[in-house]
Chains A and B, each alone.
Chain A
């Protein structure tokens, strides 16, 4: 119970701090963020955009790991864990796409410009969408679990192409592209200590929240399947 209160306080602090702390040219007090050229006031969305994007990838990764486990052990609980992770993943993926598009509107001038990162998050959304479409088309539980596990693994193999290769060989606007003169993500060089602290607190807070939600999610799926089975026979 104590950790739930701690998580509530952490996320409340991160939300308030991320939105309300002022950005000043030369930060002197502990609650002031530095002015980052090119980002200006938009920089604050980083506290919400990066954790959602990070969690959409983590969820996809966990979904694939439990797909592997299912194919090895044929235990339907692993399929429920994989399904719960993907359910949360698509929510975070949509949130990352929306926050990213909003940020792009104010930083790059348009909501969508087919930057390599935008292409890869779009592909991730398509993979999630296709995965749920495949699951909903199969009646038998075992068959559904096997086929969706196979598809999740094949889809996961395309992720390195999107995340690591395409953005680095294509020209883009997102930090980390091939023609990026700043040579790295924003967190490396322009944040000051308190901005980094809140950034990592936000990342940790959202990750704990994700694992909590995932825990509740897969348990409810397992219980629902059990009740359905008892009811039927």
Chain B
């Protein structure tokens, strides 16, 4: 099962390398969104809490612009029936999730580097806490957006519906991640951030379990 999931991931990875559809649109989206924010700020100095919020605004909308491809592309090319024949639903979900996790992590490393270069308020005092928040936040983002992407692809690939459906599901994750990012700016210790970290880890575990349980129903026609 793991070998099949990895093969599915490699297939998506290769087709992404060849077309560069998701990577190009994601990169352009990040640049456009960041420059709009920079234009609107102008010469003003913004607070650290606003910087943390704007950081996650760009992450959320970039994820919404790129991550729905995972399942929508299969429906568009008409290959979803073949996938149903060759692999179990949970294997397919694993492969797609792996691809989305890699995509989210690459995208967010770029966004983090951009922000630390362009925003004065983006100074991380507790790097370990930031990395922990970054890791669990991105994992949760990838898990929740993958299952919503599966729902969207079966609903007739309605692109506009994707952020609408994802936002309420991602809201606890985003609120907590913004808090944790702000805490890492302020140099808070792990002990002070233990509640927020516990929430974000709970969220990841709950969403992962529920996604695997419910994906069968979404995938089988």
Known contacts: A133-B161, A133-B164, A150-B214. The answer to whether A169 contacts B154 by CB under 8 A is no
- A153–B214 contact, CB under 8 A? yes
One of A9-17, A159-167, A186-194 at the interface: A159-167
Choose among A119, A134, A146, A157 the residue that contacts B207 (Cβ–Cβ < 8 A).
Answer: A157
A208 interfacial contact with B, CB 8 Å: no
Q: Chain B: interface residue count, which band?
A: 20 to 34
Task: Please classify the interface of chain A as helix (H, G, I), strand (E, B), loop, or mixed, using the class held by over half of its residues.
Answer: helix
CA distance in complex: A126, B148 (Å) = 15
Find out whether the CB atom of B156 lies under 8 angstroms from the CB atom of A158.
no
Complex Cα distance, B162 from A137, in Å, reads 12
A-B contact pairs, 5 of them (CB 8 A): A134-B161, A138-B155, A147-B155, A154-B144, A165-B199
Contact at B172–A162, with CB atoms within 8 Å? yes
Interface residues of A in 52-96 (CB under 8 A from B): 71
Q: Whose C-beta in chain B lies nearest to the C-beta of A131?
A: B165
| A6 CB, nearest partner CB in chain B, Å | 38
Distance of A134 Cα from B221 Cα, bound (Å): 17
Chain A interface size, as a band, is: 20 to 34
By the criterion CB–CB under 8 Å, are A155 and B169 in contact? yes
Q: Which residues in window 165-196 of A have CB below 8 A to B? A: 165-166, 169
Residue on B nearest A124 in the bound complex, by CB: B168
Q: Does A4 reach chain B (CB closer than 8 Å)?
A: no
Residue of A nearest to B163 (CB): A130
Q: Is the C-beta of B13 less than 8 angstroms from some C-beta in chain A?
A: no
- Given the complex of chains A and B, what is the CA–CA distance between A158 and B154 in angstroms? 22
What 10 A-B pairs are tightest by C-beta distance, nearest first? Answer: A161-B172, A126-B168, A127-B168, A150-B214, A130-B165, A130-B164, A137-B158, A123-B171, A138-B155, A169-B195
Assess whether A151 is interfacial by the CB under 8 Å rule: yes
Contact for A158 among B147, B171, B196, B221, CB less than 8 A: B171
